[in-house]
A and B are shown apart, each in its own frame.
Chain A
Amino acid sequence: MSFWSRLARTFYSRRHDENIDEELQYHLAMKEEDGYDPRAARVRFGNPAKLKEDTRAQGVLTWLESLIRDTRYGFRQLRKSAMLTLVVIFSLALGIGANSAIFSLVDAALLKRLPVKDPQSLRSIEWSNRGWPDALCNMLTGDTSGDPNAQMQGSSIAPRIYRELAKQRSGFAALIGFSDADPAGVAVRHGAAEQYKLQYVSPNFFQGLGVRLRLGRTFSMNDDRVGQRPLVIISDRFWRRSFVSRADVLGQRLTVNNVPAEIIGVASPGFFGVQIGDWVDLYAPLAAQATLNPRVRLDPTLGETDTHWWVRLLGRLRPEINENRAAQQLSARFQHLVVHPGLHIEASKIPKLITSPGERGIDPVGADQSRALWILLLLVGLILLIVCANVANLLLSRAVARQRESAVCLALGAARLRLLRQYLIESLTLAVLGGAAGLLLSHVLAEAIHSLIRADLNIGGFDLHVDSRILIFTSFVSLVTALLFGIAPAWQLAKSSVSDALKANSRAILAGRLRLPRALVVIQIGLSFTVLVAAGLLGRSLTNLETMDIGFNRQNLVYASVNPWSAGYNPEQVNQYVERLRSRVAAIPGVLRAAVIEERPLSGNANLTVVNIPGRPYYQDDASAVLVNHVSDGLFETLGIPLLAGRTFRPGDMRAKSDAVIVDELFAERYYPRRNPIGQQFGTGPKPTEHYRIVGVVKNSRYNTLREATHPVMFRPSGTASSPGTNVNFAIRAAIPSSQLARAIREVAAAVDPAVPVVAIKTQTALIDHLLLSERLLSMLSSAFGVLALSLSAIGLVGLLAYTVARRTNEIGVRMALGASRTQVVNLILKDSVRMVAIGLALGLPGAFFIGRLLRHTLFKLATVDPLTVAISLIVLAVVAGAATWVPASRAARVDPMIALRDE
């Protein structure tokens, strides 16, 4: 039969039906005329509707038509059991929503590529070396990884070397150089300065990335020279915000760190730089760093020298070029360039260049953060499995309840395939509704999680809009779910026998021993146990981190940060300003003490140096690395770090020539074992120019990290070396609430000099919270997942047991009539529940062990199998399971034998 005749017949189907009717009517009439008994004729004729249906051939569109009818029927069915439908859609929405939210985070933070042309051909180029390249590099701005004593890797090279490399033709179509994004004080016209991110970039930055400018021009080679008038290109975001998208922005001037700079271009919309999650608003040529960066301006050893390495590299590989060969060629040139004449260095000590994928630019997400995200994705995947089991169970119990109906349908001649389709349609409808609700929910959840991160990181944020990949992921998840739980009831159905189901007491045969639902509940319990253990481990690990001794009192401690450099002060003015502000802050009612500190403890920043102790061989090894902090007098008193020997700093130490140094216990123990450290002298670096004299020893305190073993710390007076351009931090111990204090500080700062911005006011606990961001996020979300998993499993357990009780009402009635006590009846249900929970737990234990192994790098001071966590999870699960059993068990106990038996 041709497709067209099918098609045509579908459209003329009513007429066709009438034709068949008339034909059959004629047949009957003729039979009666021929003397048949009309009744007998009709009986022999059978069901005219079925005959009609059989006569009507099955066309594609007839199939579609019945599909529509089945769908409508499905909707009616779903509406009829609204409660069940709602629970199913709600669970699906939670499962899919949480999955999409976490996936969109993972996607944004770990998978998404840079919004540039052909990101796959980009390569990140770094150097790798055995140890620190001593003779070549004194200072590195960027990232280093690996062990400085063994194989290590560094992100940046010297600017001159970069320019030489970029000039030569190589396997890279473009070699792009850029600095880390620096915070800079930027003022538009005569407004107050605000902090924005500024990046120094090579002239080929925009062309090389394939990013077009919205307005103006890019930098030329000529712009990248020291002493040139500073030029900047601004981001589209900055243009819209600060220039309300005015077209005459080109040629206008900004002040960047109090230096005028001319705007020559606006980047394309959506371009945020080369670091995902970090928005850069201003770009300037590499050489402009010498003019615009206050620190480089004042320190001749920084910037355009060969020993300060700060230019990061991204290369665009030419098509059809062997990556290894290109990297080797570039590396050989680099090695040749870094060794200038007169420098004697072993060939093995010269770093070589290596490439790695650069499609994501500079990866902003640390290893532990990315691990945290993958763990979350795993946990949320477990949640989805539990959801699937739950939904399958709910639908299965409904299918069982509808078994009789299905049997009637089959007896009346419905095709099994069509019945199966009916079930699939219903589950798909649920999946689509659940998926849509989940997508909405994922938006809300992702936004919430993201705002949590953003508030802490104070960054531009990830691009989190729902894109096609998240849509695909969500639809995939919901479709797979639909199939998973669509198959279970359909499978049950295929096994059902028509005649059995039609028997009067259909209850007896319904679903046999409920083997599948039981297995599903057992799996749910096992999975929730795994999730609970994970949540418990992560929570306990966080508590360990939060409650560890940091060496000083973290309560009522606030840090206020100001940046007097952005008001254009010279170092002398900065010192005067800091003294004035400090005395004004100390005079605020409720402030107990105030002092100045270079790096706030546990803010994540630290300065590292290598000590050179007389009488001890100088090695650049881990044991010689010490942390340095510059602090004012009164700092130890403000923080509450106890003095163990000698004295703390006095105001008289705060002069440029002071050689006083205070060290911590670890320092004294490591370098002066069994000696009195007070009065000892030492230096830093291979050939110390300065010698410090120890005047005091203080108790150990945490400096930059909570997790790792810390290095010894030395404290120097803050008046001796202030780093130009950086914030000045005041540590303030106060007896008033921090919000009130913050207001008072802002008033005082404005009174001293309104031109100096107050950059941040943070409590010590907020700093620690920020440091523990990924741990907190993990702990919070995993607890939420734990609660979710637990409630889903409880629903599953209650549902199954309630159904069992309803099904066994007769049996219970008989038992009671024969003398069973209520306790025995309750025990009957209890035993059932305990068995399922026990098997679930037995299955969950290996899962919990596995999760513990996965988390081993994330956990702090905790074994991968923590007995306490396992015990607590067990108890929590047992209590919830007990509560879930109670409802159906008490219903079983309330069964009235008379009513139950009469029902029979």
Chain B
Amino acid sequence: MPKADHLQGSLEILILKVLRRGPNNGYAISTCIEQASDEVLRVEEGSLYPALHRMTENGLLKAEWRISESGRRARFYELTGKGRKRLEEEEKRWRSVTAAVAKVLRTV
């Protein structure tokens, strides 16, 4: 299983992708990533929250306190326009990179 550190570059794109479906809190984002990757990718809290705050500062996300499904106060993150645009770019870049890597793996 890859360590969270190896996710450094991709964590941002995963967060953006999860939030594409709608606003969510940090805990839900991490479980969502873990489930979707069949527990292959595990998100370290030590990376997640700094990333969320950094992205908020950079204007990719908006943050807001709401009441979660469990009835507790939780901090919900939501994509901004800038975040959406970033996601598209990143997805495009990611696809081209993975395709290139796959091609190398196939041919060499």
A binding-site residues for B, Cβ under 8 Å: 1, 5, 19-20, 22-24, 26-27, 29-31, 33-34, 44-46, 50-51, 54-57
C-alpha gap A254/B4 in the complex (Å): 97
Interface presence of B49 (CB below 8 A): yes
Chain B residues lying within 8 Å of A34, measured Cβ to Cβ, are: 31
Chain B residues lying within 8 Å of A57, measured Cβ to Cβ, are: 53-54, 57
Query: For chain B residues 74-94, which have a beta carbon within 8 Å of chain A?
Result: 74-75
Interface presence of B45 (CB below 8 A): yes
C-alpha gap A34/B35 in the complex (Å): 13
Question: Which one of B45, B54, B72 lies within 8 Å of A51 (CB-CB)?
Answer: B45
Chain A residues lying within 8 Å of B74, measured Cβ to Cβ, are: 23, 26
Q: Specify the main secondary structure of chain B where it touches its partner.
A: helix
Considering residues B25, B49, B58, which has the most beta carbons from chain A within 10 angstroms of its beta carbon? B49
C-alpha gap A45/B44 in the complex (Å): 8
| Contact A55–B53 (Cβ < 8 Å) | yes
Chain B minimum-CB-distance residue to A24: B49
Chain B residues lying within 8 Å of A46, measured Cβ to Cβ, are: 44-46
Contact A55 to B27, CB < 8 A, known contacts A19-B75, A26-B73, A26-B74: no
Question: Which one of B44, B50, B75 lies within 8 Å of A26 (CB-CB)?
Answer: B75
| Contact B57–A1 (Cβ < 8 Å) | yes
| Contact A31–B46 (Cβ < 8 Å) | no
Query: For chain B residues 20-52, which have a beta carbon within 8 Å of chain A?
Result: 25-27, 30-31, 44-46, 49-50
* Other A-B pairs, 14, CB within 8 Å; known A26-B73, A44-B45, A51-B45: A1-B58, A22-B73, A24-B45, A26-B72, A26-B74, A27-B27, A27-B49, A30-B70, A31-B27, A33-B70, A44-B44, A51-B50, A55-B49, A57-B57
6 pairs from A and B in contact (CB 8 Å cutoff)? A23-B49, A23-B74, A27-B49, A33-B70, A46-B45, A57-B57
| Contact A30–B27 (Cβ < 8 Å) | yes
Chain B residues lying within 8 Å of A22, measured Cβ to Cβ, are: 73, 75
Chain A minimum-CB-distance residue to B72: A26
| A to B contact number (C-beta, < 8 Å) | 54
C-alpha gap A289/B36 in the complex (Å): 109
Chain A residues lying within 8 Å of B44, measured Cβ to Cβ, are: 44, 46
Min CB gap B52→A, angstroms: 8
Min CB gap B2→A, angstroms: 16
| Contact A5–B70 (Cβ < 8 Å) | no
Min CB gap B47→A, angstroms: 9
Min CB gap B5→A, angstroms: 13
Min CB gap A772→B, angstroms: 74
C-alpha gap A51/B53 in the complex (Å): 11
| Contact A27–B45 (Cβ < 8 Å) | yes
Min CB gap B74→A, angstroms: 5
Min CB gap A127→B, angstroms: 77
Chain A minimum-CB-distance residue to B53: A55
C-alpha gap A34/B46 in the complex (Å): 19
Considering residues A1, A34, A55, which has the most beta carbons from chain B within 10 angstroms of its beta carbon? A55
Min CB gap A4→B, angstroms: 12
Chain A residues lying within 8 Å of B26, measured Cβ to Cβ, are: 23, 26-27
C-alpha gap A529/B68 in the complex (Å): 79
Chain A residues lying within 8 Å of B68, measured Cβ to Cβ, are: 26
Min CB gap A58→B, angstroms: 10
C-alpha gap A685/B73 in the complex (Å): 114
Chain B minimum-CB-distance residue to A59: B57
Chain A residues lying within 8 Å of B54, measured Cβ to Cβ, are: 57
| Contact A51–B58 (Cβ < 8 Å) | no
Considering residues A1, A27, A45, A57, which has the most beta carbons from chain B within 10 angstroms of its beta carbon? A27
Nearest first, the 6 A-B pairs at minimum CB distance are A1-B57, A30-B27, A54-B50, A23-B75, A27-B27, A55-B49
Chain B residues lying within 8 Å of A20, measured Cβ to Cβ, are: 49, 53
Chain B residues lying within 8 Å of A31, measured Cβ to Cβ, are: 27
Min CB gap A24→B, angstroms: 7
